[in-house]
Structure 1
Amino acid sequence: MELTRSRTGLLAGISLLAVVFTVALTFATLQLPVVLGNWLSKYFPDIHPVIEPERVAEFMTVARPIGYACLAVIAILIVAGIVTGKRKLSILGSLAFFLPTFGYFFASMFFLAGLSILRVLFIPFWDPSANLMNFGDISYLAYMALVYPFWLGGIDIREVVAWVAIGIGLFIFVLGTIAWFYGKAQKRKTVDFWIYRHSRHPQYLGFIIWSYGVMLFAAQQMVPMGGSNPGASLPWLLTSLVIIWIALAEENKMRREDNAAYVQYTAHAPFMFPIPKFISTVATFPMKLVLKKNRPETGKEFLATFAVYATLLILLSSPFVLLDFPAGIGWSDWPGFVPGIPGPIMNL
């Protein structure tokens, strides 16, 4: 009885700690970019593209090759990590690829002013005529399914969805991290308790959900006059794929080091989160079709399956690009005003 009470108290304390960290990190997610943006604006001032086109052209002459070089380095890190099995390289590359998304949080006329200088990495994709950044817009389907019904009722939950995604993602991440450290302190090879009963990779799941919320906030930022906001769906999509592949690589390592126990654990705990078997079958079908087995095992197999899934998701996003959806100024204005009611829709 005392042992049960002790464990209950420990779990309650850990949950409370996770909530505190989640609130703090959620606040930091949206406030730190503002602080850093104000500081960086001293070194990368705002330039009006219409009034000062010469300065913009001069700046872009220097920034464009830097953007291509940075993107090349990140691509090399990600590919090298996947092929060689050195997961830290891929993690570093994927985080660096997603980092410029925070540049959307700094309001400016010039898309590289202040904190927006981080978006120099996106220059190779930042071509309004090609809409390359929108080739990840299939990612917005869940967002659309949540937002649109409320919009029909005259309620705007766009920011709410982004806030909730950030909060839930951080909460899962913190719970997973605490459970992992506790398990390692007990010298367990396989952490299979608490949140790990419901997800074999809660930290990665938390990051994916958190970054989804960040991506939504980026897409919702106002578009300056004469500017554009293509969003960051493609960086989020590719970053999430890299994270998933890193999780698969870690599972291969665990199967080798703690084969029997880990295989037994995987039989009961879902990969990321519980999903219906039918959806799991459909999601893994391309991988099984390419590899003729259930999971990749070598660096080349990981790279091949990554390429297949990236291509499929980009193709699924192509209707958004071909149909120029959403029309107008993009996701920052979608779904727009409530039908029949002038003015902006009501904030929740």
Structure 2
Amino acid sequence: MNRQLSQSVFLVFLALVFTVGLSFASVELPYLIDRALIENVPTPGFDSQGDEVNRLKTELFISHYHLRAIGYACLGAVLLLVGVGFATRKTGLAALGALAFMLPVFAQFAGVMFFLAGLGLLNVVWLPVLDVSFAMSGLGEVIKGPYDLLRWGFARVGMNGYWVIVYFFVGSGLLIFFLGTLAWLRARARGEGVAKAWVYRISRHPQYLGWILWSYGIFILLQQGRYPRRSWGISASLPWLLSTLVILAVAMMEELHMRNRHGTEYESYRRSAPFLFPLPGFLERVFALPFRAFFGKGRPDRKREVLSVLGLYGVLLIAASFLIYGNGFERISAGLRSSEAQREYLAGVMADIRTEENWRRQSALTRSLGRQGESGVEALLELLGDPDTELREYAAITLTEFPSELAFDALSVAVTDPVEDVRWRASAALGALGTPEVVGPLVPLLEDSVGHIRLGVVLSLAALGAEEVTPIAVGLAGSDSPRERVEGIRALGALGSDGSLDVVLRCLTDGESRVREEAVIALLRIGSSGAIEPLEALLEDEDHLVRIYADEALKRLR
């Protein structure tokens, strides 16, 4: 009796250690690692997709550390782990690959702008995907469905519900993982081939269920947006979705192994307990419908069928993400609506915009007009002349994201708006058109009373190659303000003229490191061989990023 009690206590302790270790490694440890990396590894501090210059700096940083090659190798290794695990039936390897797919979720713990800074370095695993588009990582957004449904339910009773949902998923996941680990250890200690007691009666794979619930809670926790992330453009939904699909496929592979090894004993247990958790019969049939449509049965019996499940449901869920969360239904319906129906639809959206009290919702509705083609632009032009200042601003912001030459005349008027935020946003929208015609309406703003409007217009005109701004940019490069010096140098780099080379070269010895960084980038954009020798001197600069940019610029100029 004492021996059995001691064994039970030991098993409980061991399961508890596993669970606490998982909790610490997944919640507290990421913060500690992120803080250590930020304090000890110098990285840029900007939004990597903010503008053309930031994208160039990001590319130089990635190139210097060979991060792209490392990222492709890492993703290749992850896919190899999963592939070899399934091919050899060594499901532990596939499960390890599934965990590696999850790494970009933990990258969301990074509290920085630059997407590879701090724990964001884990995003390197997904560089091959991000190289296609930062939006690719959001192709799993359908996983937000349960969370959104629960939030909607809480909202109906006047509650926010966010933290309740987070604690529920994290807490229940850890509890089920603990109970599953304990039950599995007890079964091993008793020499049982099939664990089927306790929590195994309600789930054939309680550890996997616990992991899925817990990791979903972590995913939701990181949706709170407590940090400025570029990260704004990187979602963790696709990594979580793929990781979970691989884990489910691993569970199916393990079932094939258990059935072959234990025969009727396991088959009898399989019929008595649900795969992950109890579901009503009609829901089980709904979830099995796609597989049944292809294979004529409700569950896979062979390895290739398991892999087919992985691919089939992956494609369906990604397609659902595009249709539901990627505005796919909206785009399709817009193309199918008649002209009259489209007018009625836009009239409804406009009415909602004008009556909506929540500014986030109002802004989102205005942005939705940008996806409606020419008819949406016409509605935006109407908002651009609205008496409501915020609506004019939202319309200008949307026209910056969805440029249209149809908006040229209205934006040319909007840049004279008495409200500075409207003028600022309208000038950015004009610059986004990128046509020579916008130079005329923008030039008067070089005399605007608001400094950030003047600076923004200088950069817009420089990007268009308007030589009128060269004297202004030269003057800014010699300003007492570091910010103005940075903007002036950036404008000279955009103009790309050898005539301003001497001005930029003088800035290489500026006392501000960010000014020297910008001068290196400007010299690279100008592309003059006369910059090689001065850049070589910067290879010994005291600032880490200046040295990186200089080194990479030299590789491209030589």
Structure 2-normalised TM-score?
Answer: 0.53
Alignment partner of 1:72 out of 69, 76, 79: 76
Shift of 1:18: 6.5
Equivalent of 2:239 in 223, 235, 242: 235
The structure-2 alpha-carbon separation of the partners of 1:35 and 1:224, relative to structure 1 and needing over 3 Å to count, comes to same
Using the TM superposition, name which of 141-150 and 21-30 deviates more. 21-30
Letter in 1 for 2:223: A
Distance (whole Å) between structure 1 residues aligned to residue 150 and residue 285 of structure 2: 25
CA displacement 1:255-276 (0-9 Å, x = unmatched): 1111111111112111110001
68-77 or 190-199: bigger deviation: 68-77
Distance 2:267 2:245 in 1: 23
Query: 298-307 or 165-174: which moved more?
Result: 298-307
Tell me whether 1:60 sits opposite 2:57 in the alignment: no
1:38 to 30, 35, 40: 35
| Counterpart AA for 1:207 | W
For 2:42 and 2:152, how far apart are their aligned partners in 1? 38
The residue that corresponds to 2:490 in the other structure is: none
Name the structure with the higher helix share: 2
Does residue 119 of structure 2 align to residue 115 of structure 1?
Answer: yes
For 2:217, the equivalent position in structure 1 comes to 213
CA RMSD across the alignment: 3.2
Compared with structure 1, are the counterparts of its residues 94 and 227 closer, same or farther at alpha carbon in structure 2 (3 Å cutoff)? Answer: closer
Letter in 2 for 1:43: V
Does 1:168 find its partner at 2:172? yes
Aligned equivalents of 1:218, 1:319: Cα separation in 2: 23
**Deviation (angstroms), 1:193:** 0.6
CA shift digits 1:155-206 (9 cap, x unpaired): 3332332232112111111110111010111111111111111111101111
Amino acid aligned to 1:84:
T
Matched position secondary structure for 1:156: coil
Amino acid at match of 1:58: L
Alignment correspondent of 2:88: 84
2:394 is matched with none
Q: In the alignment, what sits opposite 1:268? A: 272
Measured at CA, do residues 141 and 289 of structure 1 come closer, stay the same or move farther in structure 2, by a change above 3 Å? same
Amino acid at match of 1:159: W
Counterpart amino acid of 2:95? I
Offset of 1:243 from its aligned partner?
A: 0.9
Instruction: Specify whether residues 299 and 84 from structure 1 end up closer, same or farther in structure 2 by C-alpha distance, changes over 3 A only.
Output: farther
Work out whether residues 103 and 115 of structure 1, in 8 Å CA contact, stay in contact via their aligned partners in 2.
Answer: yes
Identity %: 36
- 2:207 is the alignment partner of 1:203: yes
- State the Cα distance separating 1:100 from its structure 2 match: 2.5
> Structure 2: which amino acid aligns with 1:176?
G
User: 29-38 or 64-73, which moves further after superposition?
Assistant: 64-73
Aligned match of 1:333: none
Deviation at 1:130, TM superposition (A): 6.1
Note closer, same or farther for the CA distance 1:161–1:13 as it changes in structure 2 (3 Å cut): farther
State the 1:341 CA deviation: 7.3
Match of 2:295 in 1: 291
Cα distance between partner residues in 1 of 2:78 and 2:221:
24
Shift in alpha-carbon separation, 1:222–1:323, aligned structure 2, 3 A:
farther
User: How far, CA to CA, are the matches of 1:120 and 1:151 in structure 2?
Assistant: 38
Please state how far the C-alpha of 1:135 moved relative to its aligned partner. Answer: 1.3
Contact 2:115-2:229 at 8 Å conserved across structures: no
1:133–1:230: 8 Å Cα contact kept in structure 2? Answer: yes
Residues 221-253 of structure 1 deviation map (CA, whole Å, 9 limit, x = unaligned): 345277614321111111111111111111111
Aligned length: 326
Q: CA deviation at 1:101?
A: 1.1
Q: Which moved more, 1:178-187 or 1:79-88?
A: 79-88
SS in 2 for 1:70: helix
Conservation of the 8 A alpha-carbon contact between 1:22 and 1:167? no
With 268-277 and 69-78 compared, the bigger mean Cα shift is at: 69-78
Change in 2 beyond 3 A, CA 1:151/1:24: farther
**Alignment partner, residue 413 of structure 2:** none
Alpha-carbon separation, structure 2, partners of 1:192 and 1:226: 46
Q: Which residue of 1 aligns with 2:475?
A: none
Match of 1:346 in 2: none
CA contact (8 A) 1:133 1:231 kept: yes
Counterpart contact for 1:45–1:113, Cα < 8 Å: yes
| Aligned counterparts, 1:1-348, within 5 A | 25-26=22-23, 28-41=25-38, 42-49=40-47, 53=54, 55-61=57-63, 62-126=66-130, 131-151=135-155, 154-222=158-226, 224=228, 228-323=232-327
Q: Deviations over 1:274-316 (max 9, x none)?
A: 0011111121122233233443343322222211111111111
| Deviation at residue 122 of structure 1 after TM alignment | 2.1
The code of the aligned residue for 2:58 comes to V
TM-superposed deviation, 1:57:
2.5
Asked whether the 8 Å contact 1:18–1:171 carries over to 2, the reply is no
Question: Highest Rg: 1 or 2?
Answer: 2
Say which is worse superposed, 59-68 or 256-265, in terms of deviation: 59-68
The one-letter amino acid paired with 2:41 is Y
Contact 1:192 1:265 in 2 (8 A): yes
- Once residues 226 and 201 of structure 1 are traced to their aligned partners in structure 2, the CA distance between those partners, rounded to angstroms, is 36
